[in-house]
Amino acid sequence: MQEKNTFFVIPARRDSKGFPFKNRILLEYTTKQIPTELQEKTIVTTNDDEIIKKLSESKISIIKRDERLCLDDANIRDVMVDVINKFHMKTNDIIVMLYLTSPDRVFSDIKKILDYFLTNNLKTLTCCIEPKTHPYLCLYQKDDGRGEQIIKHDLYRRQDYPPCIELRHFVCIFEVSEIKKLNKNMYNDDTFFYKIDNDLDIDNEDELKKYLENNLR
């Protein structure tokens, strides 16, 4: 049996559509959580020369991402395929994908989830939270102002609603052999959803400013 390697992969595109250069600010929050002895198994995929320069003296590997994988219609699965191919990863290798939008994630969080993945012989895992709003309460709003149910139902009592979860890419883990089976949000019908309490997911400048203000006091 081939030896199995675990790689920590951090996507850090230069131009975030919602918040340009967000990843330059958030990068350090994730990289500083990677223990020194694991930095050689850590990969940052980016098209940002500033990020490349910042990491050039570390043990972290850098992939200069092709511009076609930096367009607004590019998806993270294709980015991971690019990483797999460029690093010649084996099919039984494991990728732990760490988005930069969870700056308060610490390595003990990552290790706990990775240990669960390995102990239970999973092939693909991502995180989830309890949603603040059940999708049965959500509607499309039409141009004329009227609403239409997103999920058709006729249930009134909330206790009759089916349990649901909300996707959260706090930590996403998968075996390389599974990459083509995953959808563009990095899960499939066999994915295990690991429930977490942390619902911080920074996606715009206001959220980042609030986080920085609360943590620099």
Residue ranges of domains in the chain: 6-130+165-215, 132-163
User: Could you tell me if 31 and 56 are in contact, meaning their C-beta atoms sit under 8 angstroms apart?
Assistant: no
Please state at what angle helix 205-215 crosses helix 22-31, rounded to 10 degrees. 40
Residue type, 5: N
pLDDT at 128: 95
DSSP string, 50-108: HHHHHHTTSS-EEEE--GGGSSTT--HHHHHHHHHHHTT--TT-EEEE--TT-TT--HH
Tokens in use for 139?
């509607």
Which one-letter amino acid corresponds to residue 140?
Y
pTM score: 0.87
Closest by alpha carbon to 23, among 53, 46, 57?
A: 46
Query: Whose CA is closest to 94, among 217, 6, 201?
Result: 6
Instruction: Tell me the sheet residues that pair with 22.
Output: none
What is the pLDDT confidence band of residue 138, given thresholds at 50, 70 and 90?
A: confident
Average pLDDT over residues 8-26: 78
> Domain spanning 6-130+165-215 has what CATH number?
3.90.550.10
Give the per-residue pLDDT at 115.
97
Scanning the structure block, which residue is given the tokens 């943590």?
215
pLDDT tens digits, 76-131: 999 999 999 999 999 999 999 999 989 889 999 999 999 999 999 999 999 999 88
Confidence grade of residue 19 (pLDDT, cut at 50, 70, 90):
low
CA distance 169 to 127: 6
Rounded Cα distance, 80 and 65, in Å: 11
What Cα–Cα distance (Å) separates residue 129 from each residue in 10, 132, 188, 197?
21, 9, 17, 6
Q: Which of 81, 167, 99, 73 is nearest to 129 (CA)?
A: 167
